[in-house]
């Protein structure tokens, strides 16, 4: 027993151990402080938090959930990218193979359900923030970033919805993207856009309107698939990531996890 203890001591005091876990077991307040300050991940947090910030019943932990789900999506999404080719002859069959024989095909399930869960989590987060009136000064700006993040989340899910390239996907996107057709002044069926003319040449038509820009064609097709793929895997995640950073930063700067000021 005793020598076991000594062995443990030896390990804990060894240089390697120290170099990794700089402050040992944070059992003194000082160490606790250092533990948080010393770690990149943890120092997102302040050293000390308001008690209500820890209370589940107050925060509902929805912000954290959203962030965690974002991470889950990133990981599973990466795995999926190994198997998936965004062209219309392969997209569907690749998904089939994911289901039929690809190892860890379950990644697809996790990715999809994670996406749904993330949308809900973000909503609830907003709901909570509103109910506690945490958008009020000085947090107006962060609330706005939050709103943008919400929109980005929806867009992420929306662009991902097309990728399986099955009936569900293509028609959901068709319905979704048809609205762009009616953008006032920008969609070829939108109000006023009929009035935008050069001589008697309509400047807004199915070949150049908002919808065309969105789906890269007059109808959902290969280019749409590729476009959405790029948006889904590159553009939006990066944007979201960037905004999240700001979001967290603001949380810290605006007096930590929301609470009465």
Partner 1 sequence: MKPQEPIPHNYSMAKLNLIFAVSALGLLFVTGGIVLYDYVRGWKWFQWEFIRIQQERLQQDLRAAQQGENRTRMAQLDKQIKQQELTIAAHRQQYVLAQRDLDQWEGQHYAADEDYRFAKANLDAKRYELEMAVLQKRRDRAQTRKEYIDLSNHVDDLQLRLQAVTRDRDAVQARVNAWLKKIKDAEDTRKQLTASIDLVKKQLAAVSTNGQFFILNAPMLDFISPTFKIDQVVLPDLFVNVNYMEVPRVDRCQTCHRAIDQPGFESKKEAARLSAELQQKLDTYQIPQNKRAATEQRIAQLKRIQDAPQEILNPWRTHPKLDLFVGSASAHPLLEYGCTSCHHGMDRATEFGRAGHVPPNAKMERRWSGFWNVAKRQWGYEENPFDETPMYPRQYYEAGCVKCHANQVQIKGGAQITRAEATVELIGCYACHKIANWRFTGLRKPGPDLTGIAEKTTPEWAIRWISEPHDFRSTTRMPSFFYQRNMVGPAVPAAERAQNIKYQDAEIRAIVEYLFSKSKHRVWPAPGPGDAARGKQLVNTIGCLGCHVDTETVKGATTGEMRLARRTDFPLERNYGFNLTGVGTKTNAAWIYNWVRNPKAYYPEAPMPSLRLSDQEAADVTAYLVTLQKPQFMQKPIRPVDPEAVRELAKGYLVNTRTDRDAEAKLKTMPMHEQLVYLGQRSIEKYGCYSCHNIDGFEGLKPIGTDLTIEGSKALHLFDFGFVHDYKAEDGVHEHVLHTVPSWIYNKLRSPRIYDDLRTKAYNDKLKMPNFHLTPEEARLVTTVVLGLTKDQIGADKIAATDPQTRAAQEGLKLVSQHNCRACHIVDGYGRAIASLISDTNFLPPDLTPEGARAQSPFLFNFLKDPTVMKIRPWVSVRMPTFQFTDAEANTLVGMFAAEGKAHEFDNAVYSMPPASNVAVGREVFNMLRCAQCHATTPVNPEAPPVPKTASTQSLAPNLTLARVRLRHDWIPDWIRRPNEMIPGTRMPANFPRDPATGGFISPLANAIDSPQFAKSKAALMPYFKSEADLKRTMADPVALTEYLRDYIWSIGITQIRAAAPNQAPAVIAPPSMPKQLPAMKTGRAEQGGGVTAGR
Partner 2 sequence: MTFLKDFINTLSAASTSFLLLTSVFAFVVFFNLLEGKIRSKVGAIFIAFGTLFVVVGFAVRPLLYLGIAYFVILFMLSNLGGRLWDKRVGLRLLIGALAAFGLSMLDPNFFLIAAKPDNVPIGAMIFLLGIFTWIALRKAYLNDRQLAAGGIPWEKTESDEKLFTWPDLVYTEMLCMILLTIVMIVWSIALRAPLEEAANPTSSPNPAKAPWYFLGLQEMLVYFDPWLAGVVLPTLIIVGLMAIPYIDTNPKGNGYYSFRERKWEIGVFLYGFLVLWSFLIITGTFLRGPNWNFFGPFEYWDPNKLVPLVNVDLSEIIWVKLLGMPLPKLWILRESFGILLVLAYLSLPPLLAAKPFRRFYLKMGGPRYYVGSFLFLFMMALPIKMVLRWLFNLKYIVHIQEIFFNI
Residues of the shown chain interacting with partner 1 in the complex, contacts defined by CB under 8 A = 25, 27-29, 51, 54-55, 88-89, 92-93, 96-97, 100-101, 103-106, 166-167
User: Residue 133, Cβ neighbours under 10 Å: how many?
Assistant: 10
Query: Which one of partner 2, partner 1, none is in contact with 103 (Cβ closer than 5 to 8 A by kind)?
Result: partner 1
103 binds partner 2 (CB under 8 A): no
Minimum CB separation from partner 2 for residue 255, in Å?
9
Minimum CB separation from partner 2 for residue 34, in Å?
9
* Structure tokens, 51: 């008690």
Residue closer to partner 1, measured from CB, 140 or 166: 166
Minimum CB separation from partner 2 for residue 183, in Å?
5
**Does residue 124 contact residue 63 with C-beta atoms inside 8 Å?**
no
Nearest alpha-carbon partner for 255 in 49, 111, 16, 113? 49
Bridge-partner residues for 201, per DSSP?
198
Q: Rounded to whole angstroms, what are the CA distances from 145 to 71, 128, 135, 139, 150? A: 19, 16, 11, 10, 9
Q: Rounded to whole angstroms, what are the CA distances from 165 to 129, 199, 235? A: 37, 41, 20
Question: What is the residue whose two structure tokens read 């000064």?
Answer: 137
Query: Which one of partner 2, partner 1, none is in contact with 250 (Cβ closer than 5 to 8 A by kind)?
Result: none
Query: Which one of partner 2, partner 1, none is in contact with 224 (Cβ closer than 5 to 8 A by kind)?
Result: none
Minimum CB separation from partner 1 for residue 81, in Å?
19
């Amino acid at each position: 027993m005793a020598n076991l203890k000594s062995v443990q001591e030896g390990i804990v005091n060894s240089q390697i151990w120290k170099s990794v876990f700089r402050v040992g077991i944070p059992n003194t307040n000082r160490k606790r402080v250092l533990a948080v300050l010393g770690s990149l991940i943890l120092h997102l947090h302040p050293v000390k938090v308001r008690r209500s910030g820890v209370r589940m019943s107050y925060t509902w932990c929805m912000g954290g959930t959203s962030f965690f789900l974002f991470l889950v999506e990133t990981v599973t999404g990466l795995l999926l990218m190994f198997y998936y080719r965004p062209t219309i002859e392969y997209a569907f069959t690749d998904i089939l193979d994911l289901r039929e024989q690809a190892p860890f095909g379950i990644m697809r399930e996790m990715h999809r359900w994670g996406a749904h869960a993330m949308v809900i989590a973000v909503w609830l987060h907003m709901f909570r923030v509103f109910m506690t009136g945490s958008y009020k000064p000085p947090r107006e700006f962060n609330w706005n970033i939050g709103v943008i993040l919400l929109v980005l989340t929806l867009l992420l899910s929306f662009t991902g919805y097309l990728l399986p390239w099955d009936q569900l996907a293509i028609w959901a996107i068709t319905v979704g993207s048809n609205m762009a057709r009616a953008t006032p002044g920008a969609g070829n069926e939108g109000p006023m856009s009929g009035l935008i003319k050069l001589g008697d040449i309509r400047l807004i038509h199915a070949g150049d309107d908002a919808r065309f820009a969105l789906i890269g064609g007059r109808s959902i097709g290969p280019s749409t698939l590729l476009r959405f793929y790029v948006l889904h895997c590159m553009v939006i995640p990066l944007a979201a990531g960037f905004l999240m950073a700001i979001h967290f930063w603001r949380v810290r700067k605006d007096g930590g996890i929301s609470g009465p000021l």
